[in-house]
Amino acid sequence: MKSKVIIVMIFFGSLAAYGQDDLSLKIDKSGNRLTAKEYWKGLTEHCISTLTIGVQQANFFNTLYYNNKEIGIIKNEGGLNFIYSLQISPVMFDVSTFLCNFGVNSSNYYQGSEDVSTYLFGGSVYALYSPLLPNLGNFSKIVRPYLGLGYQNASLKADANNEMLGSHGVSGAMWKGGVKLLFGKKAKLCIIAEYQQSVSLNKPTALNMWHIGIGIGMRGAK
């Protein structure tokens, strides 16, 4: 419940920041307030949506995972992440789905199962604040750092011979920060790099994830 309250708070806080920050969409050069139609047109012109795909790596903070990784029982084999992001400056929302694979020595964990697939699978939703830097002209249009909170719904699963051996939920509140690079005018090349981490590190399921991706972006039509 706490995580949901946090997400709602950052959502309305971001909208309030937007209402105060981007006054150019509310008042024209003569000082007159814009009509709803004019405001909406200006809003869509400042909207950017991106779709990216990239590589991802996940690690858990608990001591057992760390020790098993150190002696080679667990190997991080990486994974994939798909992210759809919508930005209406300075607010940004994104949803993603991901799959991270782990190589596990089955003789230590799964007796009688030689071919075991262990993976972290799930999705997440985030509300973020994007303009973390002062206005630096064209540089700010290309380089867009962001920071925010979200919620991840995910499970750590193990399969063998098309049968599930076990599943453990690792869902929870997350925070993340990253940077998005946008090149081009209307159609854009998008490159992102970001770090995600559990808000609470007291649980054995607390984890972090690194992601690097590339994709396309589109600015709202004028």
Closest by CA to 126, choosing from 93, 152, 154, is: 93
CATH no. for residue 157? 2.40.160.20
Torsion over CA: 200, 202, 206, 207 (sign): positive
Please determine, for residue 120, whether its predicted confidence score (pLDDT) is greater than 50: yes
pTM for this one? 0.74
- The token pair at 157 is 């699963």
Tell me which amino acid residue 196 is.
Q
- Contact call for residues 42 and 221 (beta carbons, < 8 A): no
Domain holding 122, by residue range, is 2-219
Q: Kindly report, residue by residue over 35-71, the tens digit of the pLDDT.
A: 555 544 555 556 889 999 999 999 999 998 999 888 8
Domain count, the chain: 1
Q: Kindly report, residue by residue over 85-107, the tens digit of the pLDDT.
A: 998 878 899 999 999 999 887 66
Please determine, for residue 218, whether its predicted confidence score (pLDDT) is greater than 50: yes
